[in-house]
Structure 1
Amino acid sequence: MKHPLFDYPAQAAVGRVLPKSKIYDAGKPRPAVKERFVQEVGQISWAYKLAPETIHVPETPEVTEMQVFSIALRTGTLHHDVLRVIDRSIRHPILFELEYDGQCKVVAAYKRPSEADFEKWVCTGYVESAWLPAETARLPLPISRNLSVLYEQLLIPLLPYPALPGEPLRAQFERMELIKTKEREIAQCEARLRKERQFNRKVPINAALRKLKKELQELRS
């Protein structure tokens, strides 16, 4: 699988620092999430604007433009709740490039207009790449007929599992969410099994665990 670091055109560069205060005003983070901003985020920069006037790719009703944000981290971790606040405060789809200790990773949710209200946006859970050396050679931006197609091409390298035959991108992200849910259920079931001392009570837990693992395998394949 190709890595997700792309060489965005110079004419799309913005290079503007985003004050956290503006994100707080727009995203309305809870106090605990605001504290994560303080502890985990050094600086947020609006790195690139991918739009018809900057990369000469036509817009679509769903994607009129995209943003690439660069986030310098104070530690090597960033809670996804922080990204969700930023996504909530910005109308357009965003790809986040996280930077820490000479490395870079890309994180994004699949973001689309709500079918009930086109003025509102819906975000899936987040997917992310592995950490890569910051000097990794960047790939040319894919050639795309419109911004919706380009958005999909930028997100696909982040997905941990390949698409099923004929599976659209939205369905892939929904399946990734189901996989995460099933993994949490398996971890909880395994924890119950470890704590249980009576054999007759272990039997139904083991049966439930086998069922969950089978369902997870089906989702992954």
Structure 2
Amino acid sequence: MPKETFIKLKEEKKKHITDAFLREFAVKTYDEASISMVVKQLRIAKGSVYQYFDDKLDLFMYLLGESVAVKTRYTGSLKRENYVDFWAYFSDLYEFGFEFDDENPLQSHFLHNLTQNLNSPSIKHLYNDLLSQVVTGFETMAEYEVQNGFFRSDIPVKTQGFVLYKLGVSIQEQLEVTGIINPKESIEKKQPVYFGKKDELMQVVADYIKLARPAFNKN
């Protein structure tokens, strides 16, 4: 958690500092990210960072929390009960996710690079904890579908939840591997991760839904 000295900063300065560190962790791994380089760019003393945060990990967790909170303001507004089926809801998560990316490129780039950060040796112990939280969220989704008779009940909810999580990972990986998105290039150009690629993104999502629907849905 940030210290009181950071919380009391003027919003403009707070945003300036936050944005600079979001970018650093978006283009580098946790262990590669340099506080010294960022404070030099910000033209502030390195010691002032430790007046705002306990250490590098404290800073990183603040950035993670802020980025997740911003994205949740978009996707969290969606309610499953307002959709005819899960897959329409799943598709809209990407529609709203695209809007989040378009309007908050630094937070989006930070989250896009999160797995690389968490695989850094010095914080790899956090990976399983955070992954478990994410997968649990997908398990909750699957459990709702099973209980309401939409998803098949002969496959454990834990398995269905993990496969749903992997669907999201695969969509992101395919877009990057096939060159539809290039996060390193887009952040250099100060563009969102999915800049100009909404149609391509939503087509891949639609293709994955075609594959997944018959595997999950109750006959």
TM (normalized to structure 1)? 0.24
Which has more strand, going by share of residues? Answer: 1
Name which structure has the greater RCO, CA cutoff 8 Å, separation 6+: 2
Which has more helix, going by share of residues? Answer: 2
Larger Rg: 1 or 2? 1
